[in-house]
Amino acid sequence: MEYLYLLVALAVCITVHEASHAWIAYKLGDPTAKMAGRVSLNPMRHLDLLGTIMIFIAHFGWGKPVPFNYYNLKHPRRDSALIAIAGPISNLITAFLIAIIIKYVALPLVFFEILKTIYVLSIVLFLFNLIPIAPLDGSKLLGLIIPASKEYWYQKFLSQGPMYIILLIVFDRLIAGVSGFSFFGAYLQWGYEITTIGLMLAT
C-alpha cells in the first residue's frame, strides 16, 4: 500500500509543482507552456515515466520540465526566478493546506495515509528544489544576485548543472555507504522538521 500512496502523492505533488511553473510563466507573458498544454492539473501532462520509475528505484526522480522562452519575458532574470520559485512555493502551500485538513478533519485511515504522504513529499520537493544547482529551481534564484558581467559564467553553470547534481548525489551516496551520513538526507531531515513545526504552529 505504501507504493500506492507514494504514486498518488507523486501525481499530486509533481502536477501541482509543474502546473504552477507553467501558469506563472503564462501570467508573465510567455505562452510557451500553455501552448504545450502544461497549464493543466492533468498528471499525464507532467509526469515523466523514467523520472517516476527512478523515485521507486533510486529515491530520486523528476517530472517533465516546463518549457518557457526566456526572451518572451519583460524582465528575464526576475521573471525566470518567479517562474522557478512558483513550483516549490506551490508544494509548500499544498503542505500547509493538508496540515489544516489533518489537524481539523477526522479522516478514514486510508485517506489520512494518502494525505500524510502528499504532505511529506510536498515538503521534500520544496526543500530539494531550493538547492541552487541546475536543473533545480534554486539555480534560477541565483540569477537575482549574479551581476550582468558574470552572465556567461552563470549560463555555463546552468548548462552544466545536471552533471553537478548527479555527481553530488553519487558522492553523497558513497559517503553515506561508508559513514552512514548523508548530506542530502541531513539537509532534508533538518528542513523537514523546521518546516513541519512552522506549519503546525501556523495551523
**Residue positions annotated with a catalytic role:** 18
Q: Maximum CA pair distance of the chain?
A: 57
Give φ, ψ of 63 to 5 degrees: -105, 180
74 alpha carbon, distance to own chain's centre:
25
What are the distances in angstroms from CA 2 to CA 40, 106, 166?
27, 21, 27
**Which ranges of the chain would DSSP assign to H, the alpha helix?**
2-27, 32-35, 49-58, 76-104, 109-128, 138-141, 151-179, 183-202
Question: How far apart (Å, rounded) are the C-alpha atoms in residues 35 and 26?
Answer: 9
User: Could you give the CA distance from residue 114 to residue 193 in angstroms, rounded to a whole number?
Assistant: 20
Measure the CA angle with vertex 60, ends 57 and 65; round to 5°.
120
The three cell numbers locating residue 13: 505533488
What type of residue is 105?
Answer: V
| Contact assessment for residue 92 and residue 130, using Cβ atoms and an 8 Å cutoff | no
